[in-house]
Amino acid sequence: MTDAYQQESQILQSLKGRRLGPYLSHNPVSATQIWQWCSAMGDNNPSYHPGVHQIAPPAMMQMWTMRDINDNYAPGSTSAAPYQVFDEMRAIGYEANVAVSYDIRFHHYLRIGERARHFTSVVNISDRKSTRLGTGYFVTERVEYLTQDDTLFADALIIYFQYQPAAVEGDVQVAPTQEESAVEDVAVPAGAVPDWQPDFGNLDIARLQIGDTLPQLHLPITHRLIVGGAIATQDFIPVHHNLPAAQAAGMPDIFMNILTTSGLSARYLSDWAGAGSRLEKITFSLLAPNFPGDVMVMRGEIVGLETRATGAGVTVDFSGSNRQGLHTAGSATLALPGIHTTV
């Protein structure tokens, strides 16, 4: 270990463990923002649309307390910089950042009028690593999301990779060609299983079995979806809408942010599980990026079933793949209401 690397590592490790916050939401939970999210994700779950018992999609949890387009947190937030570790890394040459994985627990679905705030802490910084993207550090952040009355509605472990981009070589050009990227309406591959039309009815839990597969969902990845998802999730990082910024980070094109992947994965699961289901936890990693021109195919399989007093718990392994391979892979647990068929 060189003296420079040792000094660099000591500075970064000193930033671990400090709990910072609160970071407040600019606005209370509103039907307008829920609509914008659902429109971007193509999520038609009736529980998320106007009605007496309207709730917010659980995957929105991070969006409520994000910075605005001018990079400002809501008034009343702490003045402490929550991502000082990334600022320090950028200052020494690790200027690019990608989210790598989420591990989220949902405790409470937000309703119209509630306000969110969050606290954050860095719980781990890896040794310096070299990957295909470049050389840098994996940073694990713990985030606690609370309502205005201190009810914990979600908590998450989020891993980022802060890196110095490597030179992009010929075999790393995984994005579609310019002509393919210009196509907004991407056809489903020939021979693919047709998408199903969810009716959002509750599943008959007596008929579920481990090993059952979920219907596939084909999602064309367009510039509109990538940019619209970034806007709906309040993620204004340039790599998700600006081609030169994405190329400076070692990518051949703009690419989907992890918040949109989270929203699409949650949509896929609730499309299948029905409007009465509740997502309790979800863990997933990002692998090959989603670029304009891709078609992401979502798949799932039941790997766990649990009988509960009020219904059942079901665990699903899911994935989303594109032309490069896996874009995302993970596992989720959902609570299902007690609907049974008499056999």
The string of pLDDT tens digits covering residues 210-250 is: 999 999 999 999 999 999 999 999 999 999 999 999 999 88
Rounded Cα distance between 268 and 298, Å, is: 7
More confident residue, 6 or 283: 283
Residues 6+ apart with CB under 8 A from 177: 293
Residue 339 has pLDDT above 70, yes or no: no
Per-residue b/e over 71-101, b at no fewer than 16 CB within 10 Å?
A: eebbeebeeeebbebbebbeeeebbbbbbbb
What are the distances in angstroms from CA 211 to CA 101, 184, 229, 307, 333?
A: 25, 35, 32, 17, 15
Tell me the mean pLDDT in the region 319-330: 96
Mean model confidence pLDDT for the chain: 88
Looking at residue 207, the DSSP 8-state letter turns out to be G
> Are the beta carbons of 283 and 101 closer than 8 angstroms?
yes
Tell me the mean pLDDT in the region 288-298: 96
> Are the beta carbons of 171 and 132 closer than 8 angstroms?
no
**Peptide bond preceding 22 in cis form (omega within 30 of 0):** yes
Say which residue the tokens 């690790």 belong to. 94
84-91 vs 3-13: helix crossing angle, rounded to 10: 160
Looking at residue 116, the DSSP 8-state letter turns out to be E
Residues 6+ apart with CB under 8 A from 171: none
CA torsion sign for 35, 37, 42, 44 is: negative
**In 10 A of CB 126, how many CB atoms?**
13
Give per-residue pLDDT as tens, 115-163.
Answer: 999 999 999 999 999 998 899 999 999 999 999 999 999 999 999 999 9
Encoded tokens for 300: 């799932």
Rounded Cα distance between 301 and 215, Å, is: 9
Q: Domain spanning 3-337 has what CATH number?
A: 3.10.129.10
pLDDT band at residue 186 using 50, 70 and 90 as cut-offs = very low
Looking at residue 213, the DSSP 8-state letter turns out to be B
Encoded tokens for 171: 């075999």
Residue 179 has pLDDT above 50, yes or no: no
